[in-house]
Amino acid sequence: MPTRPTIAFPKNFLWGAATSAHQVEGGLNNQWTVWELENAKALATQAPYQFGDLPNWSEIRHEARMPENYVSGKAVDHYRLYQHDIALLKKLHLNTYRCSIEWSSIQPEEGVWNASEVEHYRGVLTELKKQGIVPVVTLFHFTLPVWFAKMGGFEKRSNNRHFLEYVDRLTDELGDLLGMIITINEPEVYAAMSYLEARWPPQQHNRLLALRVLNNLIRVHNQTAALLHKKSPQYEVSVAKNSVWVHPGDDAWLTIRSAGFMQYLQDDYVLKRVVKTCDFIGVNYYFSDRVYGYRKHNPNQRLSDLGWDMQPGDLEHALVRLHEKYKKPILITENGLADADDSDRKWWIMQTIVAMQRALEKDVHLIGYIHWSLLDNFEWDKGFWPKFGLVEVDRRNMKRAMRPSAIWFGKVIRRLRG
Ligand code: BGC
């Protein structure tokens, strides 16, 4: 049995939870809300084929078969209840909140600037400041204004200027309250889900286009980072890179080669192209992948509600690899699990904390950990049934309730923060 690490977390370590606007705010109008309304019925009909094999199907079937599950609608009303939700962060002894600013609310039409929406986000950021909570703000978390999507979104390089102009003005107006900024959330997840697997809007199935979107997101990150760095040294910028630790399951030549190639495609294709403009590396970690031959074959001993193989301890290896390869500070910008009955979350977080300590012992420059998610929320094409929240939300009355694992996590953070 390896001994438990004893290393302390750095004094200024960021302990946080995350959300994104579309998944929690409610009342939005963007390319996703349009798509949801057109597709909710079909998604509900397909649910038994999509999720019927999950071990918890009997528990989720009711929600998963309702079209309303697939419409973000009021989401969890975070737009109105943000002060209450920030108070929850405090209760959990967290000192960091990752959230996103919704571009489509601020620029609902091309050339229109909605000052009252900027004021809304000023309110959110001011409240965070008042409560001593560090904001980590995402600029693009999968949603686009309808007008921008209609002109092709990130499919066209020439469209980047609209995003850059938006960021320029946004930071003119809110910059005094911004510090850590995530330009693009999971660029290749967006490119793959929307343009390769055709599961997210605009549901394209086109390899070349997927690659073009990915390359353009890389480009727009670099352009945005350059803009921000030029505007002020106070900005610390990164993408949120969904990292997977890919490892060989045996020592066959083919296994080792293909694991290496998969790892490159998974992490390095994007990171190599953005790392120079990143002040830190934002890492979203949910999985590792074990490879035999040219196939992934995970142990699947313990599955989350979404059927994802849970290997929280492998975070250590992901962090060590990224540290050795890129030599930048690392912020875990997302990590968590769908776990409606809260039976695995405490175990997951415990394993994760140990993995982070082991990484710290190996000199990884880890600056923080942000759990996904603060609240139960809208999980994109799967809707509301997957429950990622530290805090459970009853959408009938929007009541929040801390899950037992969250109460435990809060006590642990208080101890670890000293
Ligand atoms: C995304 C989140 C999502 C989470 C869980 C990440 O890919 O950034 O928006 O809810 O994973 O699936």
pLDDT at residue number 52: 97
- At residue 409 the predicted structure's pLDDT band, cuts being 50, 70 and 90, is very high
* Amino acid making up residue 401: A
Taking the alpha carbons at both ends of the chain, their separation in whole angstroms is 28
**Distance in angstroms (rounded) separating the CA atoms of residues 144 and 160:** 12
Does residue 186 have its Cβ closer than 6 Å to ligand 1? yes
pLDDT at residue number 1: 55
- At residue 147 the predicted structure's pLDDT band, cuts being 50, 70 and 90, is very high
Q: Superfamily assignment of 14-417 in CATH?
A: Glycosidases (3.20.20.80)
Gap from CA of 253 to ligand 1 centroid (Å): 34
Does residue 185 have its Cβ closer than 6 Å to ligand 1? yes
Residue nearest to atom 10 of ligand 1 (CA): 379
- Give this prediction's pTM: 0.98
pLDDT at residue number 418: 83
- pLDDT tens-digit readout, 290-330: 999 999 999 999 999 999 999 999 999 999 999 999 999 99
Residue nearest to atom 12 of ligand 1 (CA): 379
Does residue 334 have its Cβ closer than 6 Å to ligand 1? yes
The Cβ-side half-sphere exposure at 359, using a 13 Å CA radius, reads 31
**Distance in angstroms (rounded) separating the CA atoms of residues 234 and 114:** 26
Gap from CA of 48 to ligand 1 centroid (Å): 22
Gap from CA of 337 to ligand 1 centroid (Å): 10
Gap from CA of 111 to ligand 1 centroid (Å): 30
- pLDDT tens-digit readout, 148-201: 999 999 999 999 999 999 999 999 999 999 999 999 999 999 999 999 999 999
- At residue 4 the predicted structure's pLDDT band, cuts being 50, 70 and 90, is confident
Record the tokens describing residue 300, joined without a space.
């699947």
The mean pLDDT of 1-22, rounded to a whole number, is: 90
β-pairing verdict for 330-334 and 281-292: parallel
Whether residue 2 is predicted with pLDDT greater than 70 in this model: the reply is no
Q: b/e for 134-148, b at 16 or more Cβ within 10 A?
A: bbbbbbbbbbbbbbb
Residue 40 φ then ψ, to 5°: -55, -45
Residue nearest to atom 5 of ligand 1 (CA): 379
Does residue 192 have its Cβ closer than 6 Å to ligand 1? no
pLDDT at residue number 187: 98
- pLDDT tens-digit readout, 66-78: 999 999 999 999 9
Q: Do 109 and 412 touch, CB atoms closer than 8 A? A: no
Share of the chain above pLDDT 70, in %: 99
Residue nearest to atom 3 of ligand 1 (CA): 379
Record the tokens describing residue 154, joined without a space.
């990130």
